[in-house]
Amino acid sequence: MPLQNFQYKGSQLHCEGVPLRAIASTAGTPVYVYSSRAIRDNYRAYRNSLAGVPHEIHYSVKANSSLAVLALLASEGAGFDIVSGGELYKVLRAGGAPAKVVYSGVGKTRDEIKYALEERIATFHCESLQELDVLKHLAREMGLAPTVGLRVNPNIDAKTHPYIATGLSEHKFGIALHEAESIYRDAKEWAPLQFTSLSCHIGSQVFDTHVFGEALRQMLGLATRLGDAGVAIRTIDLGGGLGVGYEADQPSVSIRSYGRMLSEVLRGTGCCLGLEPGRSIIGQAGTLLTQVLYRKLAPKKTFVVVDGAMNDLIRPALYRAHHEIVPVSRSDGPRTECDVVGPVCESGDFFATGRSLPPCAAGDLLAVATAGAYGFVQSSNYNSRPRAAEVLVEGDRFRIVRNRETREDLVRGETL
């Protein structure tokens, strides 16, 4: 099962020491459930595998920005990779240190840049000349000298889903290598900005780690040329992107061997390595728990209609992403082929199609696996459905860390 620290004890699926059935009866469904031990273990695997080289790990907040998750990672000493003022606000509310925040994104607004400057974040990863110009003027007005790393587009094919590949010249992200190089060479003209960092991110859900090695070598080559030209690069941030298994027997890429490979490439260069992992920290640490409402026998198919929907987890509809689905109460009965669908009024509202599932009937609980990353964060109120609750498990205990939205929440901020 592509989940960490979720296992059957007897017939019941548990997260760490807690039966998921108990969580569903307290928090209701649909509900996201996360294992704090899995999140911690993954973060520590990064830290330990990079112990031999100077490094900074910035958890990518976009993967899962729940305050409790951010607070857990902050308490481990993690830094944060943000892409909006909203994410910065959440990091600060969770107790994250602004001095460990890096800020990426092609469309930072003036207000967002100002907010990040006021909070004295660590580094701006800039993606265009115009953005640099806004940052320079604001920094001058405020009497600050922020650290900048241009996000370089290395034109590397990450071989992943086209929506989440970002490192090719045709993508909106980053600045072409040759253009970035000439901006760095003119660094003095951009005073007070401090060009001591370099960044790139080639895509997400990447399994071929060689492409990361190639990107790192490219960045190191650029850093050396810049050093020769008098621009000292201290940090190379390689972004996130490590893939995790979603299929039943698909292994994740080992964080440990990835870290070791990068350490080998980096050793002796004197550079500090920045990483921005998201999915590989929390993807397999979370499930979406949903209850079967109806079992509908249609002329051509059997539909298992559940109370979770595409507004709760949009990945299957958006990317045709595969998520394993397992029963919370294990059953050895005969399997049948069915579509697992939600109540939203779209045929694209499915969690699985043509999936062979053990017997399940109205009232049964199902766990949609590998939903910790890009699950809740991409949820919406489509069809005026209140968003799900979230639960964090720690050993034998669990806490509701986000209440289920109410109907009143659906109209908050609206006027007649």
Between residues 157 and 337, which has the closer beta carbon with respect to ligand LLP?
Answer: 157
Interface with ligand LLP (CB under 6 A), residue from 14, 90, 136, 201: 201
Question: What is the maximum alpha-carbon separation in the chain?
Answer: 72
Candidates 277, 327, 342, 372: give the one binding ligand LLP (CB under 6 A): 277
Q: How far is CA 306 from CA 28, 151, 202, 291, 377, in A?
A: 13, 42, 36, 5, 20
Q: Which stretch binds ligand LLP (CB under 6 A): 132-140, 270-278, 352-360, 385-393?
A: 270-278
- In the structure encoding, which two tokens stand for residue 285, read together? 């640490």
Residue 197 touches ligand LLP, criterion: CB under 6 A: no
168 binds ligand LLP (CB under 6 A): no
Shortest distance, position 378 Cβ to ligand LLP, whole Å = 6
**Window 173 to 192, contacts with ligand LLP (CB under 6 A):** none
Backbone angles phi, psi at 122, to 5 degrees: -70, -55
Site for ligand LLP in 336-395 (CB under 6 A): 373-374
403 Rama sector, left if φ>0, alpha if ψ -120 to 50, beta otherwise: beta
Q: In the complex with ligand LLP, which residue's Cβ is closer, 25 or 380?
A: 380
Pick the binder of ligand LLP from 14, 315, 355, 387 (CB under 6 A): 315
Residue count, binding to ligand LLP (CB under 6 A): 21
Specify the residue, 200 or 292, whose C-beta has the smaller distance to ligand LLP.
200
| Nearest distance from C-beta of residue 239 to ligand LLP, angstroms | 4
Q: Least distance to ligand LLP from the beta carbon of 321, Å?
A: 7
Q: Which stretch binds ligand LLP (CB under 6 A): 64-72, 199-207, 266-274, 407-415?
A: 199-207
Give the CA distances from residue 402 to residues 71, 224, 318, 376, in Å, rounded to whole numbers and listed in that order: 14, 47, 25, 11
In the bound state with ligand LLP, the residue whose beta carbon lies nearer, of 280 and 291, is 280
Asked if 177 and 153 count as a contact pair (C-beta separation under 8 A), the reply is yes
Residue 190 C-beta: closest distance to ligand LLP, Å? 22
Out of 60, 153, 218, 287, point to the residue binding ligand LLP (CB under 6 A). Answer: 60
Q: How far apart are CA 388 and CA 29, in angstroms?
A: 7
Residue range at the interface with ligand LLP (CB under 6 A); choices 49-57, 107-115, 200-208, 289-297: 200-208
Say whether residue 286 binds ligand LLP (CB under 6 A). no
- Tell me whether residue 360 is one of the annotated catalytic residues: no
Taking the complex as a whole, the smallest distance from the CB of residue 284 to ligand LLP amounts, in Å, to 12
Enumerate residues 84-123 that contact ligand LLP by CB under 6 A: 104
Please state the closest distance from residue 191 (CB atom) to ligand LLP, in A.
26
Is 127 a residue that touches ligand LLP (CB under 6 A)? no
| Best CA proximity match to 288, nearest among 3, 43, 72 | 3
Site residues, ligand LLP (CB under 6 A): 60, 62-63, 81, 104, 164, 201, 204-205, 239-242, 276-280, 315, 373-374
Q: Which residues are catalytic?
A: 345
